[in-house]
C-alpha cells in the first residue's frame, strides 16, 4: 500500500526491533509482580474512567497485562508471542510490524473510550491470525503432544471469534471489531488476493497428492 510505503520512508527510524520480545518481557514482569501485588493488573488495565482521571499511562500499560494466570501457560503464551512477532517481522520488516501492532492498539483504545474498558486479548489474537496467513503450514505441538498446523488453529480461532461476536454484547462486539482493524488494513484488497492464491496452491497440492496415491 502506497501510504504505508510513504510512512515507512519518513518514520522508519522510530520502529522498535523485536517489539514482541519487549512486550512479552513486560507481561512476564507484571505477572511476577502481581503475585505479590494482586491489584497491579487493575492499575494497568485500560479504563475510560481512569483515563479521565488523568491516569494516561493506561494507554500503554494495558499492553503488558499477561494473558493467563497459570505459570505454565504464561510461559507458553509469551514464547508464542515472541515467535509470532519474529515471524511477522521477517515477512513485513520491523516498521510494518510495528505499524500493524499500533493499528490494533489504537483500535483497542478507541473501543475502550466508547465502551468504558479495553483489553489486549483480541489485539494479540490478531498477531496469530496474521502469522497463520503467512505460515499456514507451520506446525505447533498442541499440549506438548499433538502436532498441528497453524492454519487449522487459525480456522478454529476464527470460528470461536465469530461465535463470540454473535453471542456477545455490543461492547464486546465493538472490542472485537476495533482490535482487529489491523487485519482489515493489512490484509484487505491485495491481502485477500494473496490469500486466494494461497488457497489455490493448497488445493493444487492436495489434488497432486491424491493423484500420486
Residue 103 placed within a domain? yes
Residue 204 has pLDDT above 90, yes or no: no
Among the ranges given (44-53, 102-111, 195-204), the one the predictor scored with the smallest mean pLDDT = 195-204
How high is the mean pLDDT of the chain? 86
Domain containing residue 152: CATH number: 1.20.1540.10
Residue 211 placed within a domain? no
* Distant-in-sequence, close-in-space partners of 21: CB < 8 Å, separation ≥ 6: 82, 85
Burial of 81 (0-12, 13-18, 19+ CB in 10 A): buried
Please count the structural domains in the chain. 1
Burial of 72 (0-12, 13-18, 19+ CB in 10 A): exposed
Say what the pTM is.
Answer: 0.82
The b-or-e profile of 118-140 (16+ CB within 10 A means b, else e) is: bbbebbbbbbbbbbbbebbeeee
Residue 205 placed within a domain? no
Residue 207 placed within a domain? no
Residue 40 placed within a domain? yes
Residue 198 has pLDDT above 60, yes or no: no
61: domain range? Answer: 13-182
Residue 200 has pLDDT above 90, yes or no: no
Quick: pLDDT tens for 122-134. Answer: 999 999 999 999 9
Amino acid at each position: 500500500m502506497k501510504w504505508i510505503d510513504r510512512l515507512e520512508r519518513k518514520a522508519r527510524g522510530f520502529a522498535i526491533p523485536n517489539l514482541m520480545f519487549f512486550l512479552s518481557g513486560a507481561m512476564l514482569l507484571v505477572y511476577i509482580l502481581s503475585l505479590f501485588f494482586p491489584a497491579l493488573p487493575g492499575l494497568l488495565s485500560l479504563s475510560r474512567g481512569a483515563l479521565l482521571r488523568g491516569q494516561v499511562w493506561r494507554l500503554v500499560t494495558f499492553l503488558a497485562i499477561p494473558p493467563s494466570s497459570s505459570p505454565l501457560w504464561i510461559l507458553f503464551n509469551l514464547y508464542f508471542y515472541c515467535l509470532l512477532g519474529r515471524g511477522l517481522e521477517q515477512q513485513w520488516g520491523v516498521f510494518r510490524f510495528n505499524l500493524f501492532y499500533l493499528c490494533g492498539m489504537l483500535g483497542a483504545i478507541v473501543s475502550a473510550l466508547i465502551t468504558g474498558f479495553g483489553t489486549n486479548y483480541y489485539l494479540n489474537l490478531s498477531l496469530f491470525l496474521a502469522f497463520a496467513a503467512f505460515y499456514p503450514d507451520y506446525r505447533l505441538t498442541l499440549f506438548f503432544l499433538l502436532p498441528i498446523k497453524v492454519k487449522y488453529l487459525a480456522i478454529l480461532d476464527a470460528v470461536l471469534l465469530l461465535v463470540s461476536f454473535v453471542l456477545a454484547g455490543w461492547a464486546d462486539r465493538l472490542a472485537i471489531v476495533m482490535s482487529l482493524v489491523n487485519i482489515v488494513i493489512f490484509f484487505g484488497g491485495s491481502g485477500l488476493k494473496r490469500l486466494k492464491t494461497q488457497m489455490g496452491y493448497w488445493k493444487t497440492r492436495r489434488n497432486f497428492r491424491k493423484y500420486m496415491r
